[in-house]
Amino acid sequence: MNKQLHVCFQTPLEHFTLDVDIKIPASGVTVLFGPSGCGKTTLLRCIAGLHKAEHAQLRINDDVWQEAGYYLPAHRRKVGYVFQEPSLFPHLNVTKNLLFGQRRTQQEGLLSLDEISQLLGISHLLQRMPDKLSGGEKQRVAIGRALLSNPEILLMDEPLSALDYSTKAEIIPYLEQLHERLSIPIVYVTHALSEVKSMADHIVLLEKGKVSAQGPLKEMLLDLSAPLARFSNAGSLIDAVVSHYDEDYDLTEFSVDGGTVTVPGSIGAIGTRKRIHLSASHISLTRTPANDTTIVNILPVTILEIDQASTAQCNVRLQLGQHSQILARITRRSKDQLALTIGDQLFAQVKGVSLVKL
């Protein structure tokens, strides 16, 4: 069985042609990332069959949805679609809104209404009418409705962009849980890098209708020639396992490839797995390990690559442990003053650590 999605569309838009030919993994979250107007929504609409591209090839695993001379109409495509604005039926309560998607397909959902309600934290809202829900609750119901339609693919078009900062923060953990539980692929459109870091397994960067880069997120973040490493909030992701909790100081210690990372608070039981994001501009480099610093996270690293990200700054790709790599952003002057070169063994002082998902 061919477990991937082949997404190939060419269609002229107002100022450029959308011209995409990509293979997407059949599970996990693929983020379409790019500036406003680059064609992200149009690409989702092509997949859903709502925009008919002139040239197209769309295969979902072994099923052909579209190719020369064949076009599976939108209503027969098993797609769950979540829009920026949660568009619930105002005259139906939450349960009826949720079931609307299920009735449309007359099939058993991948997950039951109960399971989906629990997963999205809306079990207590089932009898409510939409006008009595907050923006975040409405969007969670809209996501639930999309899932109950028994989709083979979930398309999410900037599902958080209409929500304020704190509502976004409230909803992200639910999306992360979904990501863990769902076996179907999710194509997620955003131009917020924070959502990319917490959600994406795979990333496709779009610019004026063309794919400028794509690949597994972890690798793409470390590719110094790819656009992500040039962003002001560039960083890297490493896998971590809770190894110790210091009750006196309320600090959780994680074991990572090549060392330990300590973060404030009680994060989880010993053995809990997390993904840690290390912000490149919050990492400084020293030749000797400082013993008079307040920074708690100091990791031995080796320089693999140095790239001038701007006239003032350089990105440094570093080997951590056997199999991990991280990114540091330093000034070009520091690089020259320390005469840093490839192969140098250094110590990375890590100030900014954020936990992103299980």
Q: Which is nearer to ligand ATP, 21 or 246 (CB)?
A: 21
Q: Looking at 4, 6, 10, 13, which residue binds ligand ATP (CB under 6 A)?
A: 13
Secondary structure element (H or E) that encloses residue 173, with its range:
helix 165-181
State yes or no: residue 191 binds ligand ATP (CB under 6 A): yes
Q: Are 301 and 326 in contact (CB under 8 A)?
A: yes
Q: Which is nearer to ligand ATP, 37 or 268 (CB)?
A: 37
State yes or no: residue 38 binds ligand ATP (CB under 6 A): yes
State yes or no: residue 14 binds ligand ATP (CB under 6 A): yes
Q: Which is nearer to ligand ATP, 20 or 143 (CB)?
A: 20
Q: Which is nearer to ligand ATP, 52 or 230 (CB)?
A: 52
Spell 269-281 as b/e; 16+ CB within 10 A means b: eeeeebbbbbbbb
The three-class DSSP label of residue 259 is strand
CA dihedral angle for residue 265, residue 249, residue 271, residue 238, rounded to 10 degrees: 60
Contact stretch for ligand ATP (CB under 6 A) within 9-17, 52-60, 88-96, 115-123: 9-17
Q: Which of residues 282-301 bind ligand ATP (CB under 6 A)?
A: none
Q: Which is nearer to ligand ATP, 190 or 324 (CB)?
A: 190
Q: Are 13 and 42 in contact (CB under 8 A)?
A: yes
Q: Are 327 and 316 in contact (CB under 8 A)?
A: yes
What's at 171, amino acid-wise?
I
CA distance 257 to 323: 7
The token pair at 327 is 């990114």
State yes or no: residue 41 binds ligand ATP (CB under 6 A): yes
Q: Looking at 1, 15, 54, 68, which residue binds ligand ATP (CB under 6 A)?
A: 15
Report the DSSP beta bridge partners of residue 97. none
Q: Looking at 7, 24, 40, 259, which residue binds ligand ATP (CB under 6 A)?
A: 40
Q: Which is nearer to ligand ATP, 16 or 347 (CB)?
A: 16
CA distance 210 to 216: 18
Which chain residues interact with ligand ATP by CB under 6 A? Answer: 13-15, 34, 36-42, 191
